[in-house]
A and B are shown apart, each in its own frame.
Chain A
Amino acid sequence: MSTAIMAAAPKASEKHSTAPFDPRFPNQNQTKYCYQSFLDFHRCQKVKGTNYEPCNYFKRVYKSMCPNEWVDKWEGQLDAGTFAGRV
């Protein structure tokens, strides 16, 4: 691992971003930021269809904020029709 770090020059213009600060969730507890973004993504897709690019903003946010285990669980529940949120 450490030898890999020392390797060649980095790519100069790396597009790089993460979920921004959201004034709806100013606290230490960010659980709702993750969950709300997951909901918003699926609501957005339900209204606008799966090919609507702006929906992917929510996806990027929940990908950054949610533990992968949670996302897998919720997606499983969506497929099984047992998801508790109102999509």
Chain B
Amino acid sequence: MPTWSNLSLQDANSPLMEQLIFFHDHTMMILFMITIMVSYIMMTTMFNSYINRYLLENQTIELIWTIMPAVTLLFIAIPSLKILYLMDEINNPMLTIKAIGHQWYWSYEYSDMNNIEMESYMKPTNSLEEGDFRLLEVDNRIILPMKSTIRILVTSSDVIHSWTIPSMGIKIDGTPGRLNQGNMNINRPGLMYGQCSEICGANHSFMPIVIESVSMNQFMNWLNSN
């Protein structure tokens, strides 16, 4: 989850997010290289005293500065596409959960087995307990088993919402009348926080998402106790 004065991305809790962080770092390396090179060239062009009044064309350098960026872009585009299609992949999931956006709360359905439905409202500030996070805590958390493939279907019953867990690299729009699929594979037990990411009305900021990741045994116990 985000901690105080955190720069950059949150720590990864799923293989997908790990890949996204690798991609981010890789792209940033290229970006820094370009920025440094361009600023160096600009500095030298401003401060040198070489002048060539008769320069009209130079095919060679034009060829170089066309091919070079094209190759650089390939180095970004290929891993980017790889992750893009990896995020769409779903390999026979073990469990399906549904997240339905409402103005202004999320509701969840586990209907593979005993059809659990629950509503997840934000905890108001005056009922927070010691150690709770203001504007992030909810009354009913989504309980999920770690280290198993989970299909998440997101939809909405009114306006567009967006179901987001930054530490798992997930952001799926919930659109009325449409089912959007995503997949999760949680690396470790713990709590993962997120917020609605599509401006959906007055209380858009007050419909957070909390995942409680537990072991498979504990998950089955929870299922059976509901």
Task: Verify if B72 is at the interface (C-beta below 8 Å from A).
Answer: no
Let me know if A31 and B224 touch, CB within 8 A.
no
Let me know if B225 and A7 touch, CB within 8 A.
yes
Task: Verify if A85 is at the interface (C-beta below 8 Å from B).
Answer: no
Contact among B90, B92, B217 for A10, CB-based, below 8 A: B217
Contact among A18, A30, A33 for B94, CB-based, below 8 A: A18
Q: Which of A21, A27, A28, A31 is the most central at the interface, judged by chain B CB atoms within 10 Å of its CB?
A: A28
- Report the interface size class on chain A: 20 to 34
Task: Verify if A47 is at the interface (C-beta below 8 Å from B).
Answer: no
Let me know if B117 and A16 touch, CB within 8 A.
no
Give, as a whole number of angstroms, the nearest-CB distance from B140 to chain A: 8
Contact among A14, A21, A34, A67 for B109, CB-based, below 8 A: A67
- Report the interface size class on chain B: 35 or more
Let me know if B117 and A68 touch, CB within 8 A.
yes
Give, as a whole number of angstroms, the nearest-CB distance from B93 to chain A: 6
Question: Which stretch of B4-12, B54-62, B177-185 is in the interface?
Answer: B177-185
**CB contact list, A7-27 vs B, under 8 A:** 7-11, 14, 16-21, 26-27
Q: Contacts A8-B221, A18-B93, A67-B98; is A30 near B181 (CB within 8 Å)?
A: yes
Which residues from chain A sit less than 8 Å from chain B, CB to CB?
Answer: 1, 4-11, 14, 16-21, 26-31, 33-34, 63-69
Given contacts A21-B90, A28-B180, 18 further A-B contacts (CB under 8 A): A1-B141, A5-B143, A5-B221, A5-B222, A5-B225, A7-B225, A10-B224, A16-B94, A28-B182, A30-B179, A30-B180, A63-B111, A63-B112, A64-B112, A65-B96, A65-B179, A66-B179, A67-B179
